Structure 1
Amino acid sequence: MERELKYLDIVEQPISMHPKKFALWLFLVTVVMIFAALTSAYIVRQAEGNWLEYELPEIFWITSGIVVLSSVFLHWAYISAKKDNLLNLRIGMVMTVILGIAFLVGQWYSWVALVDRDVFFVGNPAGSFLYVFTGLHAAHLISGVIFLIIVLISTFRLKVHSQAMNTMEMATTYWHFLGGLWIYLFMFLLLNH
């Protein structure tokens, strides 16, 4: 009888996840599907010919470094929050927000560099795809920066600490995802342009 009760205790425990985290993961899956479809369409369209050959702007290397560095600062902030080191948490969040904004500025300058190389949104599909990739990623990144600013404000209101990590965990997941997505897109473009 005791053995059956232990089995029932194990079976009846539901697997739980915070509803907001679950919604975030569903959203991330949809973003993956969108970019998978776009990169597949890129490959298919490129194979048809009439494809503009151009060099990627060098600033893509810089923005890639910026996004990786921002993830390092955010991870440092996350670890600091778990240890209740509020000063390091705030410093890490401020640096992450600054680097996120720097990435967006870098993306703008990459578009300027593309125009200087006669790569436009309208015209050849090669340019159109590049602007769609970078523009769609930038739109998600803007939402990520807004999310980071909300978390940053929460750190100053003492709402992020070792006992209240939900928002911090969600922001960290989203930001690391966006960083990984950018690295994927950059590598994809390096290998397929």
Structure 2
Amino acid sequence: MGATILVIALIGVVASFWLARQRLSAKPWLEAGPLGEFPGTGPLAADPAKIALGMFLAVVASLFALFAGAYLMRMQLGDWRTLPKPGILWVNTGILVLASGALVWAQEAADRGSLAQTRRAILLAAVASLAFLAGQVLAWRDLVRDGYFLATNPAATFFYLITGMHGLHLLGGLVALGRTASRAWGETDAAALRPSLDLCAIYWHFLLLVWCLLFSLFLVT
């Protein structure tokens, strides 16, 4: 429980610092500005869409922190039985790293104005993400084949719940990535895709970090 509270506190500190940098905590009536200009009405330091995404990710991070805390507390009880770790989870981790890296490639290609490379990078990210989800389904199939069903024991229940929630968030990201891909194939200026690519990249990097932490939790316990 203490670890969960610590994670949530760290998330709160990071979120507060980040939001403060976006001028959300500014007091315009105390700020000085040029004559005729109302203080604090200048452009935000970041895109409002990024601010909204940052708030959403803080909520999602808190959710997974609570899951991890409940997992650690529940495993202390006597009916807990260790769950085998399907080897494909290692492959899935590498695939998700590839998806995240492909979006970095897409950002760099958009900066260079290379629409063809941007499209290829977006396609690679989408295919890799779908492969990750398919790999998770295969991991579930391996566990079911070995007799570990959803209600077999608490460890199995937590594994299906946590990995399922992570998969649902990735599916939601694929919807946004699909919209970006649709724009990419109808756009003539690669630079115009950069804002959407930035949001997708932030989201995928976040999901990669969450997955690495969860996978480490499964391995350690």
Query: What TM-score does the superposition give when structure 1 sets the normalisation length?
Result: 0.89
After superposition, residues 121-140 of structure 1 pair within 5 angstroms as 121-140=150-169
Superposition deviation, residue 164 in structure 1: 4.7
- In 1, distance between residues paired with 2:85 and 2:79? 18
Q: Quick one: which amino acid aligns to residue 79 of structure 2?
A: N
After superposition, residues 75-154 of structure 1 pair within 5 angstroms as 75-154=104-183
**RMSD across aligned positions (CA):** 2.0
- In 1, distance between residues paired with 2:126 and 2:71? 31
The corresponding residue for 1:21 is 50
The corresponding residue for 2:86 is 57
Superposition deviation, residue 97 in structure 1: 0.6
Q: Pick the aligned partner of 1:171 from 200, 208, 214.
A: 200
Superposition deviation, residue 160 in structure 1: 6.2
- In 1, distance between residues paired with 2:61 and 2:189? 29
- In 1, distance between residues paired with 2:167 and 2:189? 27
- In 2, distance between residues paired with 1:75 and 1:14? 26
The corresponding residue for 2:71 is 42
List runs of 5+ in structure 1 lacking aligned partners.
1-6
Asked whether the equivalents of residues 84 and 161 of structure 1 are also in contact (C-alpha less than 8 Å), the reply is yes
Asked whether the equivalents of residues 151 and 167 of structure 1 are also in contact (C-alpha less than 8 Å), the reply is yes
> C-alpha offsets along residues 75-118 of structure 1, whole Å, 9 cap, x if unaligned?
10111111211111011011111111101110110100111222
> C-alpha offsets along residues 17-67 of structure 1, whole Å, 9 cap, x if unaligned?
333222211110111000000000000111122111231111100100100
Moved more, 134-143 or 47-56: 47-56
Superposition deviation, residue 161 in structure 1: 2.7
- In 2, distance between residues paired with 1:149 and 1:163? 16
1:8 aligns with 2:33: yes
The 3-state SS of whatever aligns with 1:55 is: coil
Aligned residues: 187
Asked whether the equivalents of residues 107 and 198 of structure 2 are also in contact (C-alpha less than 8 Å), the reply is yes
Q: Quick one: which amino acid aligns to residue 171 of structure 1?
A: C
The corresponding residue for 1:4 is none
- In 2, distance between residues paired with 1:34 and 1:123? 24
Check 1:135–1:55 CA distance in 2 against 1; reply closer, same or farther (3 A cut): same
The 3-state SS of whatever aligns with 2:33 is: helix
- In 2, distance between residues paired with 1:117 and 1:52? 14
List runs of 5+ in structure 2 lacking aligned partners.
1-31
Asked whether the equivalents of residues 70 and 95 of structure 1 are also in contact (C-alpha less than 8 Å), the reply is yes
> C-alpha offsets along residues 128-175 of structure 1, whole Å, 9 cap, x if unaligned?
000011100010111112221211111111176324522111111111
Percent of aligned pairs with the same residue?
32
The 3-state SS of whatever aligns with 1:50 is: coil
